[in-house]
Amino acid sequence: MSNRRSRQSSSAPRISDDQMTDLVSKLRLLLPEIRERRRSDKVSASKVLQETCNYIRKLHREVDNLSDRLSQLLDSVDEDSQEAAVIRSLLM
């Protein structure tokens, strides 16, 4: 048994190599950076995981930026205005 596997908790579910390959393939399809490459280009599992982390960080930044913009927009309109009602309806 490898050192990595021996460190795992006995209650942790085991993932087979085939399952890991399948999961990495699915991640590869979700990542714009990798999906745009030719199918013949080999991308390691570690690169896919690294790009996944980078992509999630990027998405978090986008959410934060959009939240800030929305807050600014809401602060700039009258609470009882038609614009505020439209914004509230879009958020629900």
Reported as a single tens digit per residue, the pLDDT across 35-73 is 777 666 788 999 999 999 999 999 999 999 998 888 888
Q: Between the CA of residue 71 and those of 41, 74, 90, what are the distances in Å?
A: 43, 5, 14
Assess whether pLDDT exceeds 70 at residue 33: yes
The pLDDT, as a whole number, for residue 74 is: 80
Provide the pLDDT confidence category of residue 6 given band limits of 50, 70 and 90. low
- In angstroms, the CA 70 to CA 84 distance is 11
Look at the pTM and tell me if it is higher than 0.85: no
